[in-house]
Protein backbone atom coordinates (compact mmCIF):
# COMPACT_ATOMS: atom_id res chain seq x y z
CA UNK A 1 0.00 0.00 0.00
CA UNK A 2 1.67 3.20 -1.21
CA UNK A 3 1.54 6.42 0.78
CA UNK A 4 0.58 8.34 -2.37
CA UNK A 5 -2.42 7.09 -4.35
CA UNK A 6 -2.31 6.87 -8.14
CA UNK A 7 -4.72 5.18 -10.54
CA UNK A 8 -3.13 1.89 -11.68
CA UNK A 9 -3.79 2.59 -15.34
CA UNK A 10 -4.60 5.33 -17.83
CA UNK A 11 -4.95 5.38 -21.58
CA UNK A 12 -5.43 7.64 -24.55
CA UNK A 13 -5.15 7.78 -28.30
CA UNK A 14 -2.38 9.61 -30.17
CA UNK A 15 -2.85 13.36 -29.99
CA UNK A 16 -5.12 13.24 -26.95
CA UNK A 17 -4.47 14.85 -23.57
CA UNK A 18 -4.16 12.52 -20.60
CA UNK A 19 -4.01 13.40 -16.90
CA UNK A 20 -2.59 11.21 -14.12
CA UNK A 21 -3.53 12.05 -10.55
CA UNK A 22 -1.61 11.63 -7.31
CA UNK A 23 -3.32 11.98 -3.95
CA UNK A 24 -1.70 12.33 -0.56
CA UNK A 25 -2.06 14.14 2.74
CA UNK A 26 -0.96 17.24 4.61
CA UNK A 27 2.25 15.55 5.75
CA UNK A 28 3.45 14.86 2.21
CA UNK A 29 1.96 16.57 -0.85
CA UNK A 30 0.30 19.22 1.28
CA UNK A 31 3.61 20.54 2.56
CA UNK A 32 6.27 19.54 0.04
CA UNK A 33 7.14 19.72 -3.65
CA UNK A 34 6.13 16.84 -5.88
CA UNK A 35 8.20 15.22 -8.63
CA UNK A 36 7.21 12.90 -11.45
CA UNK A 37 9.23 10.08 -12.99
CA UNK A 38 8.71 8.19 -16.23
CA UNK A 39 9.81 4.56 -16.50
CA UNK A 40 9.88 3.15 -20.00
CA UNK A 41 9.68 -0.66 -20.23
CA UNK A 42 12.91 -2.30 -19.05
CA UNK A 43 14.63 0.96 -18.18
CA UNK A 44 15.41 3.05 -15.10
CA UNK A 45 13.09 5.87 -14.01
CA UNK A 46 13.69 9.27 -15.56
CA UNK A 47 12.69 12.67 -14.16
CA UNK A 48 10.00 14.45 -16.19
CA UNK A 49 8.66 17.05 -13.71
CA UNK A 50 10.29 18.52 -10.58
CA UNK A 51 9.16 21.04 -7.97
CA UNK A 52 5.48 20.56 -8.88
CA UNK A 53 5.58 22.00 -12.36
CA UNK A 54 9.13 22.44 -13.66
CA UNK A 55 10.37 20.57 -16.71
CA UNK A 56 14.00 19.43 -16.95
CA UNK A 57 15.80 20.33 -20.15
CA UNK A 58 15.10 17.78 -22.82
CA UNK A 59 11.59 16.93 -21.61
CA UNK A 60 8.99 18.00 -24.20
CA UNK A 61 6.65 20.83 -23.25
CA UNK A 62 3.80 18.37 -23.80
CA UNK A 63 4.48 17.33 -20.19
CA UNK A 64 3.15 19.58 -17.43
CA UNK A 65 2.56 19.27 -13.70
CA UNK A 66 0.37 20.96 -11.14
CA UNK A 67 -0.43 20.74 -7.45
CA UNK A 68 -3.37 21.83 -5.36
CA UNK A 69 -3.67 21.12 -1.67
CA UNK A 70 -2.95 17.45 -1.06
CA UNK A 71 -3.26 16.38 -4.70
CA UNK A 72 -1.12 16.70 -7.79
CA UNK A 73 -1.42 15.79 -11.42
CA UNK A 74 0.72 15.13 -14.45
CA UNK A 75 -0.71 16.06 -17.83
CA UNK A 76 0.55 14.87 -21.18
CA UNK A 77 -0.86 16.61 -24.23
CA UNK A 78 -0.44 15.57 -27.85
CA UNK A 79 0.00 11.99 -26.69
CA UNK A 80 2.60 9.98 -28.62
CA UNK A 81 3.34 6.26 -28.73
CA UNK A 82 6.72 6.84 -27.06
CA UNK A 83 4.89 8.18 -23.98
CA UNK A 84 3.72 4.66 -23.16
CA UNK A 85 5.35 4.00 -19.81
CA UNK A 86 4.83 3.79 -16.06
CA UNK A 87 4.59 7.15 -14.28
CA UNK A 88 5.35 7.67 -10.58
CA UNK A 89 4.74 10.66 -8.35
CA UNK A 90 7.11 11.24 -5.42
CA UNK A 91 7.57 13.64 -2.55
CA UNK A 92 8.81 13.90 1.02
CA UNK A 93 6.70 12.84 3.98
CA UNK A 94 7.25 14.91 7.13
CA UNK A 95 5.72 12.25 9.41
CA UNK A 96 7.80 9.40 8.00
CA UNK A 97 10.87 11.63 7.63
CA UNK A 98 11.61 10.12 4.25
CA UNK A 99 10.70 10.06 0.58
CA UNK A 100 7.52 8.38 -0.61
CA UNK A 101 6.30 7.26 -4.01
CA UNK A 102 2.94 6.63 -5.56
CA UNK A 103 2.13 3.11 -6.70
CA UNK A 104 2.61 4.07 -10.33
CA UNK A 105 0.27 4.52 -13.29
CA UNK A 106 0.70 2.46 -16.43
CA UNK A 107 -0.07 4.68 -19.41
CA UNK A 108 -1.18 2.91 -22.57
CA UNK A 109 -1.32 4.68 -25.92
CA UNK A 110 -4.11 2.99 -27.87
Partner 1 sequence: EVKVLESGGGLVQPGGSLRLSCAASGFTFSSYAMSWVRQTPGKGLEWVSAISGSGSTTKYADSVKGRFTISRDNSKNTLYLQMSTLRAEDTAVYYCAKETDIVVVPANWFDPWGQGTLVTVSS
Which of 15, 60 has the CB closer to partner 1?
A: 60
Which of 72, 90 has the CB closer to partner 1?
A: 90
Residues forming contacts to partner 1 in the complex (CB under 8 A) are 2, 32-33, 35, 37, 43-47, 50-51, 56, 88, 90-92, 94, 96-104
Q: In what order do the strands lie in the sheet with 18-23?
A: 18-23, 71-76, 63-68
Which of 52, 77 has the CB closer to partner 1?
A: 52
CB of 44 to partner 1, least distance (A): 4
CB of 93 to partner 1, least distance (A): 9
Amino acid sequence: QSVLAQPPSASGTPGQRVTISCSGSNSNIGSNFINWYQQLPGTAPKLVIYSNSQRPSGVPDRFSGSKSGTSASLAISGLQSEDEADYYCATWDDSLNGRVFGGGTKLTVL
